[in-house]
Structure 1
Amino acid sequence: MKFDRKNLPDNVLKRLHYELLLPRLIEEKMLILLRQNKISKWFSGIGQEAIAVGVTQALQPTDYILPMHRNLGVFTGRNVPFDKLFAQWQGTKMGYTKGRDRSFHFGSKEHHIVGMISHLGPQNGVADGIALASKLRSEKTVTAVFNGDGGTSQGDFHEGVNVAAVWDLPVIFVIENNGYGLSTPSHEQFRCLSFVDKAIGYGIEGIQVDGNNILEVYNTVHALAESLRERPRAIILECNTFRMRGHEEASGTKYVPKELMDAWAKKDPVENFEQYLIAESIIDQKYCDDLRIEIRKEIENDLEVAFAEQHPQPNSDDELKDVYAPFSQEVIVPKGNKTEKRYIDAISDGLRQSMERFENLVLMGQDIADYGGVFKITEGFVERFGKDRVRNTPLCESAIVGASLGLSIKGMKSMVEMQFADFVSEGFNQIVNNLAKAHWRWGQHADVVVRMPTGAGTAAGPFHSQSNEAWFFHTPGLKIVYPSNPIDAKGLLCAAIEDPNPVMYFEHKLMYRSIKDFVPDQYYTTEMGKACVVREGSDLSIITYGMGVHWALEVVGDIANCRAEILDLRTLLPWDKEAVMAAVKKTNRVLIFHEDTLTGGIGAEISAWITEHCFAELDAPVVRVASLDTAVPFAPTLENNFLPKIRLKEKIEFLLNF
């Protein structure tokens, strides 16, 4: 292995040696503790330290790094306290996730580190968002995000690189090419000879280095970073290395040919660099021995601190409290003139006034810029706010949702428009595993609104008509709103944008141009989590939301002498239990009505809650009316049969006569 120090002074070389030793000696201790059954699991980076160390030391402390399992050198290089790090691995409360997550699944704003989730690829989109915020603020910072060679097969990697390339974001996509994805060799993972070749397809630079040569990694990344500060752009950096231990220790390495292990053992990054420094008379053996003693002593002392702490005592209130970032909504009461607006106009109005109110708000979505979105909600926004804040996106839903979290990490707000709610499945993982869990896991709020044009009734078929709010209803950490009228559409959208938690905002396409009302012109908010009685009654209570409100009003109006109360939930998560209970007590008969399919719909949860908490108030069984348990059909006759409206009258009469 040839080392080229270029113009690096001795103190920098000695620092790199020290930073290489830290993760190696910690790992050696962890492997001993694993054999002693004192830790539960370990993902070893032995043999790959030069990459994490070289990248970290070459960047500025204010540059964000998004590491993975084998990048201990990122954390030690950013001076993360050993005791807190060890506590994190032990699952004790002193750790960064309070015992809620494992290993490196955490972030630390103080150290400008954002850890991974187990799905491997989603961190690329998050890196894009961090870099986008830095670019918008002209901060001249760089973001580095780590990937294993196996993880590059994921769509999240492609989307993250593609978005960074299109937007010229200062992101270094570090690929640790270590020959295996768990036990699967590279030739079964991909056909390209090197990842540099992939860069060509994205129209960006691709650079390959010896990942075991600390000076080659350090010098390359340092030069790239300085270049990216002046000319932001995306770069793929392929670091060739080898994994000397199993994917995790229980996996072993029996699947690796012995000659391959022997060959790479000779390329050990720590031993080779140390021998080079000794040969250059920069250090000597005594220096190395003394340094090892000093580091091992520090490790033992901090382990003693970490091991002294017990696993956290469970407290359900504390666990529930951290699901959402703290936020107390101050409702802004509507004032001033009112103008007749369609549902779609009210949404556009709320979005525009939120952009005026929050200068750190960025809108992202397909075709939302010059074209104004497929429904024209953002028409004229580019002229008013510019393309930096109103951003057309590639068809990369996962990367864009990930970028929204990255923006939030940097203190910005974002709105992501799904062109149709159906397409959210492409970004599902980012929403339910990153946005929803970030605050509970490591205290990072996700200040994101995902707008969801939803619903059937337009003969658009099974992929443009789904009601999928129940997909997210089951996920702690998300909030869900679903306005049924223009006044709430504006007020709830403004409220959702104010809230620092991730909000799924559902808007029914059929209402866009068919529902009108007089809407306050000025900015205002509607209280989230509060239902609204839209029709007083005493015979039965219809609990519904969205288009169901209008269908219920129409059907009830056609039934003679039917005094039905209609409760519009408006917010689905959290939903208004007090209002539901009041409705049950008032009429003693309940019908839950929604457009989503019956099985597993939100109505099932509300029905179960009523049965559990209000059973004594009921004079009849709780009835649910919903769409058929099929996909949404295309032909209008079939779609009409699918939707629940045609079955509502029969069920109302059943309840009235029970």
Structure 2
Amino acid sequence: MQYQNSKVSKKTQISLYERMLKPRMIEEKMLILLRQGKISKWFSGIGQEAISVGVTSVMQPEEYILPMHRNLGVFTTRDIPLYRLFAQWQGKASGFTNGRDRSFHFGTQEFNIVGMISHLGPQLGVADGIALADVLKKNNHVTAVFTGEGGTSEGDFHEALNVAAVWNLPVLFCIENNGYGLSTPTSEQYKCEHLADKGKGYGMESHIIDGNNILEVYATVDKLCKKMRKNPAPILLEFKTFRMRGHEEASGTKYVPKELMEKWAQKDPIANYEKFLLDEQIIDTQKIDAIKAKITAEINENLKLAFDENEVEISETKELKDVYKSFEYEHVKEGSVVENIRLVDAVSNGLKQSMEKYDDLVIMGQDIADYGGVFKITDGFVDAFGKERVRNTPICESAIVSAAMGLSINGMKAVMEMQFADFASSGFNPIVNYLAKSHYRWGEKADVVIRMPCGGDVGAGPFHSQTNEAWFTKTPGLKVVYPAFPKDAKGLLNTAINDPNPVLFFEHKGLYRSVYQNVPSDYYTIPLGKAAILKEGGEITIVSYGAGVHWALKTLEMHQEVEADLIDLRTLAPLDIEAIYASVKKTGKLIILQEDSLFGGIASDISALVMENCFEHLDAPVKRVASIETPIPFAKNLENNYLPKDRFAAELLDLLAY
């Protein structure tokens, strides 16, 4: 291994040695503790220390790094107190996740580190969002994100590289090519000779670096970061290295040829560098012994602190409270000036006024800029706010959801337009695993609203007509809003944007241009989790939302003899279940109407909750009315048969007669 140290000071060379030695010695201690049963799992980065330490050493403290589970050197080089890391690995409260997650599945704003999730790919898009925020703030910062060679096969990798290239984002994409993805060798993972070659396809600069040579890593990355800070653009780095231990310790390394293991053992980044420093008389054995003694003492002292700490206390109240970031709703009253507008206009108006309210709010989506979006919600927004804040995106839902999270992490707000709610399936992973879980896991908000044009009765077929709110009401950590009227749409959207938690905001396409209402012209808010009582009567309770509310209103107009409470939920998570309980206790009967197919929908949960909590007040079984159990068909007669709007009246009258 050849070391070129002419441009690196002796002090820095010694520091790099100490910084590599520290994670190695921690790992060696952790492997002992693993065998003793004192930690549950370990993902070893032994042999790869030069990459983590080299990259982190050239990054500025305020620049974000997004590491993986073999990047202990990132955390130690950023000087995170060891007892906090040890507590994290033991599930103690002094860690970063209060025992809710393990390993390096955490982030810390204090040290500008954003840890991984097991699904690997989303953090690449998150890095894009963090870098975008830096570009918009003109910070001249670089964001570094790590992945393994196995992770480069995921779609998120390709989406994130493409977005970074198109938007000229200063992201340093670091691939640690360590030979194996669990047990699958690189020969079975990709066909190109070098992963760095993939950069050419995205029009970005790329380099191959000896990942075991600390001075090469340090000098090369330092040079590239200085260039990126002056001229923002992404760079792809492939670090050639090797995984000397199993994917995790239980996996072992029996699948690795012995000669390959021996070859890479000879390229150990610490042993070789130590010999170089000794040969160059930059360090001596006495200094090495002193460094090792210092690290050993630090490890032992901090381990004692972690071991002496009590187990995490169980508090169901705290567990539930920490799913969401606290949000103090600020009510803004409606003004007296109103205009009669459609639901589509109300959404556009609310979004525009929120853009005026928040200079750090960015809107992203396909075709939303000059074209104004397929539903023209953002028509004229580019002229008002510029293309930096109203951003067309490539067709890559997953990367853009992740980028929205990155904007939030770096102190901005994001609204993403899912062109059709159906397409959320392509961004499902970061929605339910990243946005939804981040605050519960490590206290990080996801200040993101995803607008979801949804719903049938428009002849759009199986891929443009779904009302898929039940995919998300099942997931703790998400808020789900579903207005039926223009006035509610504007006020609730404003509140959703104010809320620092992730909100799925459903907008029914069939209502966009068919429903008019007098809507206050000025900015105002409506609280989430508060249902609206549209009609009052003592015979029966009708609960619905979205287009179902209008179907129920039409039915009641046709059957004016029916005296019903009609509840428009408006928000599905949080759900105003107390309003439903109060009505059911008055009427004794409940019918729930939803557009979604019956099984597994929100109506099922409402029914179960009422049965469990209001059973003694019921005079009849709870009735659910919904679409049939098929995908949504295209032909109008088939779609009419699918939807419950024409069946609702008969079901309502039947329940009344029970």
**Normalised-by-shorter TM-score class:** over 0.9
Any idea what the Cα deviations from partners look like across 1:333-382, whole Å, max 9, x if unmatched? Answer: 10131001100000000000000001110000000000000000000000
2:412 corresponding residue in structure 1: 412
TM-superposed deviation, 1:180: 0.5
Distance in 1 (CA, whole Å) between partners of 2:236 and 2:247 is 23
1:270 corresponding residue in structure 2: 270
TM-superposed deviation, 1:501: 0.4
Query: What does residue range 83-232 of structure 1 map to in structure 2 within 5 Å?
Result: 83-232=83-232
TM-superposed deviation, 1:559: 2.0
Any idea what the Cα deviations from partners look like across 1:287-327, whole Å, max 9, x if unmatched? Answer: 11221111011100100000111221211001001000011
2:472 corresponding residue in structure 1: 472
1:393 corresponding residue in structure 2: 393
1:3 corresponding residue in structure 2: 3
Any idea what the Cα deviations from partners look like across 1:89-122, whole Å, max 9, x if unmatched? Answer: 0001110001000010000111110000000111
Distance in 2 (CA, whole Å) between partners of 1:209 and 1:331 is 55
Distance in 1 (CA, whole Å) between partners of 2:181 and 2:311 is 32
Distance in 1 (CA, whole Å) between partners of 2:506 and 2:241 is 47
TM-superposed deviation, 1:606: 0.3
Query: What does residue range 346-365 of structure 1 map to in structure 2 within 5 Å?
Result: 346-365=346-365
Matched letter for residue 610 of structure 2: I
RMSD: 0.7
Distance in 1 (CA, whole Å) between partners of 2:105 and 2:6 is 36
Distance in 2 (CA, whole Å) between partners of 1:578 and 1:479 is 18
TM-superposed deviation, 1:248: 0.2
TM-superposed deviation, 1:647: 1.2
Matched letter for residue 409 of structure 1: I
Aligned to 1:567, the other structure's residue is in SS state: strand
TM-superposed deviation, 1:228: 0.4
Distance in 2 (CA, whole Å) between partners of 1:540 and 1:336 is 34
Aligned to 1:367, the other structure's residue is in SS state: coil
Percent identity among equivalent residues?
60
Matched letter for residue 349 of structure 1: N
2:36 corresponding residue in structure 1: 36
Distance in 2 (CA, whole Å) between partners of 1:6 and 1:426 is 49
Distance in 2 (CA, whole Å) between partners of 1:63 and 1:474 is 35
1:50 corresponding residue in structure 2: 50
Distance in 2 (CA, whole Å) between partners of 1:98 and 1:561 is 57
Distance in 2 (CA, whole Å) between partners of 1:240 and 1:6 is 23
Aligned to 1:329, the other structure's residue is in SS state: coil
Query: What does residue range 425-444 of structure 1 map to in structure 2 within 5 Å?
Result: 425-444=425-444
Distance in 1 (CA, whole Å) between partners of 2:583 and 2:628 is 26
2:281 corresponding residue in structure 1: 281
Distance in 2 (CA, whole Å) between partners of 1:580 and 1:509 is 27
1:588 corresponding residue in structure 2: 588
Are residues 1:334 and 2:334 paired? yes
Matched letter for residue 253 of structure 2: T
Aligned to 2:25, the other structure's residue is in SS state: helix
2:234 corresponding residue in structure 1: 234
Matched letter for residue 457 of structure 1: D
2:513 corresponding residue in structure 1: 513
Distance in 2 (CA, whole Å) between partners of 1:599 and 1:465 is 18
Matched letter for residue 195 of structure 2: F
TM-score by length of 1: 0.99
Query: Do the aligned residues in 2 keep the contact of 1:589 with 1:620 (CA within 8 Å)?
Result: yes
Are residues 1:627 and 2:627 paired? yes
TM-superposed deviation, 1:77: 0.3
Matched letter for residue 109 of structure 1: Q
Distance in 2 (CA, whole Å) between partners of 1:515 and 1:132 is 37
Aligned to 2:382, the other structure's residue is in SS state: helix
TM-superposed deviation, 1:535: 1.4
Matched letter for residue 259 of structure 2: E
Any idea what the Cα deviations from partners look like across 1:193-234, whole Å, max 9, x if unmatched? Answer: 101210110010110000000011111110110000011011
Matched letter for residue 595 of structure 1: E
Aligned to 1:237, the other structure's residue is in SS state: strand
Query: Do the aligned residues in 2 keep the contact of 1:451 with 1:504 (CA within 8 Å)?
Result: yes
2:524 corresponding residue in structure 1: 524
Aligned to 1:646, the other structure's residue is in SS state: coil
1:82 corresponding residue in structure 2: 82
TM-superposed deviation, 1:471: 0.3
Any idea what the Cα deviations from partners look like across 1:134-167, whole Å, max 9, x if unmatched? Answer: 0000000000000000010000111111110110
Distance in 2 (CA, whole Å) between partners of 1:513 and 1:595 is 18
1:600 corresponding residue in structure 2: 600
1:496 corresponding residue in structure 2: 496
Aligned to 2:518, the other structure's residue is in SS state: strand
Any idea what the Cα deviations from partners look like across 1:512-550, whole Å, max 9, x if unmatched? Answer: 110001100000011110000111222111100000000
Distance in 2 (CA, whole Å) between partners of 1:333 and 1:389 is 28
Count, aligned residues:
658
TM-superposed deviation, 1:560: 4.8
TM-superposed deviation, 1:7: 1.7
Matched letter for residue 198 of structure 2: K
Matched letter for residue 441 of structure 1: R
Query: Do the aligned residues in 2 keep the contact of 1:529 with 1:572 (CA within 8 Å)?
Result: yes
TM-superposed deviation, 1:654: 1.0
Which shifted more, 304-313 or 26-35? 304-313
Matched letter for residue 148 of structure 1: G
Matched letter for residue 401 of structure 2: V
Query: Do the aligned residues in 2 keep the contact of 1:208 with 1:240 (CA within 8 Å)?
Result: yes
Distance in 1 (CA, whole Å) between partners of 2:560 and 2:116 is 60
1:303 corresponding residue in structure 2: 303
Are residues 1:65 and 2:48 paired? no
TM-superposed deviation, 1:633: 0.4
TM-score by length of 2: 0.99
Query: Do the aligned residues in 2 keep the contact of 1:130 with 1:407 (CA within 8 Å)?
Result: yes
Distance in 2 (CA, whole Å) between partners of 1:59 and 1:332 is 43
Any idea what the Cα deviations from partners look like across 1:46-83, whole Å, max 9, x if unmatched? Answer: 00000000000011111110000100000000000000
Distance in 1 (CA, whole Å) between partners of 2:411 and 2:210 is 36
2:543 corresponding residue in structure 1: 543
Aligned to 1:328, the other structure's residue is in SS state: coil
Are residues 1:485 and 2:485 paired? yes
2:378 corresponding residue in structure 1: 378
Aligned to 2:646, the other structure's residue is in SS state: helix
Where in structure 2 are there 5+ consecutive unaligned residues? none
Any idea what the Cα deviations from partners look like across 1:532-573, whole Å, max 9, x if unmatched? Answer: 011122211110000000000101221251112210000000
Distance in 2 (CA, whole Å) between partners of 1:290 and 1:111 is 27
Aligned to 2:287, the other structure's residue is in SS state: helix
Query: Do the aligned residues in 2 keep the contact of 1:195 with 1:206 (CA within 8 Å)?
Result: no
Query: Do the aligned residues in 2 keep the contact of 1:539 with 1:589 (CA within 8 Å)?
Result: yes
Any idea what the Cα deviations from partners look like across 1:382-403, whole Å, max 9, x if unmatched? Answer: 0000000000000111111111
Matched letter for residue 590 of structure 2: V
TM-superposed deviation, 1:6: 2.6
1:612 corresponding residue in structure 2: 612
Matched letter for residue 479 of structure 2: K
Aligned to 2:647, the other structure's residue is in SS state: helix
Any idea what the Cα deviations from partners look like across 1:233-262, whole Å, max 9, x if unmatched? Answer: 111000000000000000000000000000
User: What stretches of structure 1 move > 3 A for 4+ residues in a row?
Assistant: none
Distance in 2 (CA, whole Å) between partners of 1:497 and 1:576 is 20
Distance in 2 (CA, whole Å) between partners of 1:649 and 1:59 is 65
2:533 corresponding residue in structure 1: 533
1:638 corresponding residue in structure 2: 638
